[in-house]
Amino acid sequence: MQEVMVREDVALGADAVWAVIGDFSGIRKWATLVEAESTEVTPEGKVRTLTMPGGRTVSELMTDGGPHHYTYTYDRPDMDAYVSTVSVEPGAGDACAIVLRVKFQPKDPSQLEAATEAMGKFCRGNLKAMKRALGLA
């Protein structure tokens, strides 16, 4: 699988950052494009359904979570696989790093370069939105 990762150090403690960006069921704290969200617990795990502009819905299944990370999958019609992780790495004092990682495999191998570029843009946009919600941008 292809992987895209963005990481940025921020001048806030990990717990403070995680309080804003780490709630799988509270993505609207930082993701302002999400118009509505709901979460349900299913036999497979916790699923969040996001309503995006234009009424498009996205359902994401949380597959792993911990004190400063969560991982989810998303069945995209253009991908054979899509796994994303949001994490915060504690640093020294009141500092940490926000890390966003997406692993994916396009259905059409000829789309790998375009998909990689799009995933990088997606991750950088999310990081920017997270920093804005934290009062850092």
What is 2-133's CATH topology? Alpha-D-Glucose-1,6-Bisphosphate; Chain A, domain 4 (3.30.530)
Contacts with 74 (C-beta within 8 Å, 6 or more apart), sequence order? 58, 59, 60, 61, 82, 84
What is the residue extent of each domain of the chain?
Answer: 2-133
Q: What is the mean pLDDT of residues 82-107?
A: 96
Average pLDDT, the chain: 96
CB-CB neighbours of 72 under 10 Å: 21
pLDDT per residue as tens digits for the range 95-121: 999 999 999 999 999 999 999 999 999
Confidence band of 93 (pLDDT split at 50, 70, 90):
confident
| pLDDT value for 51 | 97
**Residue 45: which region, alpha, beta or left (left: phi > 0; alpha: psi -120 to 50)?**
left
Is residue 125 a contact partner of residue 30, using CB atoms and an 8 Å limit? no
What is the dihedral sign for C-alpha 105, 55, 120, 10? negative
Q: What predicted TM-score, i.e. pTM, was given to this entire model? A: 0.94
| pLDDT value for 74 | 93
